[in-house]
Amino acid sequence: MILGKKRLAVRWFSICLIVLATVALAYLAISNGQAIQYMTWTYDTAGIYPDLFESIRDAADLHPYEGRSIYPPLTYLILWIFSKMVPGDYSAGFAFGEASVTPNGVLVGTMFFLVSTGVVCAMAANKLSLKGIDVVLYSVAFVSSPAYVFMLERGNIVILSLLFLMFFVFNYNSENTVIRNLALLSLAIATGLKLYPVFFGLLLLNKKHKKDAVKSIVYGVALFILPFAGTGGIQNIAKMLQNITDISADTINNAKGFGYGFKVNISNICQAFGEKMKVQSSTTDWIAGVLMLILLCMVIFVVFISRQEWEKAYALCMVLTLIPTFSWIYNEIYLLIPITLLLYERPELKKNTVLPLILMMLIMGEFPYISLFNSLEGYHKISLSTMLGNASMWVLMIYLVAENFGKLKMWSKTKEGM
C-alpha cells in the first residue's frame, strides 16, 4: 500500500509532468498556436481520429488484406463492429474522413478513447492504491504526455493494446487462478491487436510459469489464427506480413514525405543523423542494425537477471518502442506500465528512485519548443520531446544493465564466500 510519505514519489512525478504540460500549453498560446507542430501531426490528414477510421474502412468489408492493412485480423473483427455503428462510404480512398466527422463518428470515436483511457488510468491507480487527488494527478499526467497527445490526435488503437497488456503484467503472478488465466488471455488479445506485445511472453519463461507459458501460447495462436477465418482466409497471413514489410520500407525510405518527426525507432534516428552528417544510407542501416542487436541483448539480460518487475517491463517496452521501423511516439504510452510498477515497488522518494523517475519524466514530458535537423527533407521535423525521449530511453536502459551487472557480480561474490 502507498500511504503517507510513501505517496510522495507518485505525487512528485505527477505534478512535475503536469507543470511541464501547463508550461507547454502557455507556450502554445504565446506562439499563437504555432507550437502545435512540435506536439502532434500537422501534415495532410482526413477527418478526426484518422488512424482509427482508416482501420475501420479496411475492416468494413472484412477483406482488409486486399489493401495495405498491417494489423492482425482480431483488430479488424473488432473494428468491423465499429463500421456498423458509423455508416459511411468506406469503399472510396479517404472517404473515411467524412464518416469520422459525422455525429456517429465523433460519438463512437470519442467514447472509445474515453472508455479505454479511463480503464487504463483506473488500473494504474488501483495498482498504486491511489485515492482522491492522487488519482486525478496521475491520470492528468498520463494524458498530458506527448505520447498520449499524439496517440489521441491520430486516433491510434495502441491504447487498447496497452489496456490488455497492462492487465497481463499486473496480474500474471496472481494467486487467483481465474485472474491469472484472464491475464494470459489479455496478453493474447494485446498481441492479437498489435503483434509486438508478444515479447512480454518472455516474463513466463521460468519454472514457476511453465504451465502458464503453454496456455499463453495456445491462447495467442488461437486468437491470431482463428480470426483469419472471418477476414478472407488464413492465406492472408503472407499478405499481412508483406504489407508490414512494405509499410516498413516506406517509413524507412521516407517515401511519403512525412519527415523524421515523431518517430522514435532506432532506424529513424540513425537515418536522421546519417543524412545530417552526409553518411551513406547503407552505413546508417548497418549502424541501426548493430544498435538493434545491442538493444535486444540488453533487454534479454535485464529480463532474465533483474528481480524487479518494473525493470523487466521497461526493458520489454524498449522492444515495442525502439525496434519497429514504423514506431511513432504514441508507442511510448506503453511506458505507463513500468512507470506504475516503479512507483509501486519503490514508492518512497529515495536515491535509487529519483534518477529513473527523472528519465521517465523526460520521456513523458511535453517540450514543444524547438525542432532539430530542420534542414532535412520531409514535413515533420524531430521535436525536442522526441529527441529527449529517445535519448532518455537509451540512458535508462544502459543504467538498468549497469545496475543489474553490479548486482550479478555481488551475487557471484556472495556465492563464492559461502
The residue with greater pLDDT, 193 or 91, is 193
Place of cell 518512497: 348
**Mean pLDDT of the residues in the chain:** 91
Q: Of 109, 54, 42, 55, nearest to 262 (Cα)?
A: 42
Write down the pLDDT at residue 42: 80
Place of cell 516506406: 250
Write down the pLDDT at residue 2: 46
How sure is the predictor about 41, in pLDDT bands with cuts at 50, 70 and 90?
Answer: confident
Mean pLDDT of 1-11: 67
Write down the pLDDT at residue 207: 84
- Asked whether residue 249 carries a pLDDT value surpassing 80, the answer given is no
Question: CA 257 to CA 242: how far, in whole Å?
Answer: 22
How sure is the predictor about 254, in pLDDT bands with cuts at 50, 70 and 90?
Answer: low
Cβ-based burial of 211 (10 A; exposed 0-12, middle 13-18, buried ≥19): exposed
The residue with greater pLDDT, 374 or 192, is 192
**Domain positions in the chain:** 4-238+256-417
Mean pLDDT of 244-258: 73
**Structure confidence by residue, pLDDT tens digits, 119-132:** 999 999 999 999 99
Mean pLDDT of 243-268: 80
Mean pLDDT of 43-70: 90
- Asked whether residue 239 carries a pLDDT value surpassing 90, the answer given is yes
Write down the H helix ranges in 196-308.
210-225, 236-252, 266-276, 281-305
Mean pLDDT of 3-29: 88
Write down the pLDDT at residue 255: 52
Q: Rounded to the nearest 5°, which phi and psi values hold at 369?
A: -110, -35
How sure is the predictor about 380, in pLDDT bands with cuts at 50, 70 and 90?
Answer: confident
The residue with greater pLDDT, 248 or 84, is 84
Q: Of 124, 115, 117, 225, nearest to 166 (Cα)?
A: 124
How sure is the predictor about 43, in pLDDT bands with cuts at 50, 70 and 90?
Answer: confident
- Asked whether residue 4 carries a pLDDT value surpassing 70, the answer given is no
**Structure confidence by residue, pLDDT tens digits, 286-300:** 999 999 999 999 999
* Least confident range of 170-179, 244-253, 330-339: 244-253
Length of the chain, in residues: 418
Strand partners, 372: 382
* Least confident range of 238-252, 309-323, 360-374: 238-252
Mean pLDDT of 82-100: 83
Write down the pLDDT at residue 1: 43
Mean pLDDT of 309-337: 95
Write down the pLDDT at residue 5: 58
- Asked whether residue 20 carries a pLDDT value surpassing 80, the answer given is yes
Place of cell 501531426: 41
Question: CA 376 to CA 238: how far, in whole Å?
Answer: 35
- Asked whether residue 384 carries a pLDDT value surpassing 70, the answer given is yes
Q: Helices 73-85 and 177-194 sit at what angle, rounded to 10 degrees?
A: 80
Instruction: Give exposure, 259-278, as e/b (b: 16+ Cβ within 10 Å).
Output: bbbbbbbbbbbbbbebbeee
Question: CA 106 to CA 271: how far, in whole Å?
Answer: 37
Write down the pLDDT at residue 70: 92
Q: Extract the C-alpha cell encoding 122.
A: 483506473
